[in-house]
Amino acid sequence: MQDKLEKFIRDNRNLFDDREPGDVWEKIEKDLDTDIDKKKSIASVYWKVAAIFLLGVCTFLLIDKFNPDEPSISQQKMKLSPEFLETEAFYTQLISHKVREIENFRIEDPELKSTFRSDIMSLDSVYQNLKNELYETNNQIILDEMIENLRLRIDILSEQLMILKTINNEKNEEAHSL
C-alpha cells in the first residue's frame, strides 16, 4: 500500500509542484517572531517591576535608618515594656491560630465570608491606628486599648468559629438524615 502511494507521488511529482506556498512560510515566521517577542517583553516587564520594587524597599530602609528626627520602629518598640510585647505576641499568636482554623473551613456563603473579613479588618485598622498613636505618645491608656482590641479580635474569631462549626454540624446532620 505504501509503495503504491510513493510510486504515485513520484510519477505525478510535477503536478504537485506546480503551486508554490507563496507567503505562507513568511506568515508563519512572523507569527513565531511575535510570540517570542511577547514572551521577551513580558519577562522584561517582570524584571523591571522587581527592580523598581527592590529600589523602593532599599530607599525606605535607608530613609528609615538614617532619619535622625524619627526613631525607627525597632527603636520605638524598645521603649515599650517587655510585658506588653510579651502580651502582644501571645495574643497575636492566638489570633493567627484562630484565623488558620477559620481558613480550614470552606465558607460557601460569600456574604458570610465578607462579613467575617470586614469585622477583623476593621479591628486591625483600629489596632494599627492605636499602634501609631502609641509610638508618638507612649501612653498606658493606649496600651490598654490595644490589648482590649486584641482580646476583642479573639472573641470575634471565637464567635466566627462557633458559627462555622454550627453550620458544619447542620450540614453533616442533614447529609446523614438523607
Same domain, 101 and 154: yes
Q: Supply the DSSP string of 111-172, one letter for each residue.
A: HHHHHHHHHHHHHHHHHHHHHHHHHHH--HHHHHHHHHHHHHHHHHHHHHHHHHHHHHHHHH
Residue 1 falls inside a structural domain: no
The phi, psi pair for 110, rounded to 5°, reads -65, -30
Same domain, 64 and 93: no
Full-model pTM: 0.52
Same domain, 40 and 106: no
Along the 178 residues of the chain, how does pLDDT read in single tens digits? 678 878 887 887 777 666 666 666 677 666 665 555 556 666 677 777 777 887 788 787 777 776 655 544 444 555 677 888 888 899 999 988 888 888 877 777 777 777 878 888 888 888 888 888 887 777 788 888 888 988 998 898 888 888 888 888 888 787 777 6
Residue 4 falls inside a structural domain: no
Residue 126 falls inside a structural domain: yes
Q: Are 98 and 157 in contact (CB under 8 A)?
A: yes
- Domain count of the fold of the chain: 2
* C-alpha cell, 125: 485598622
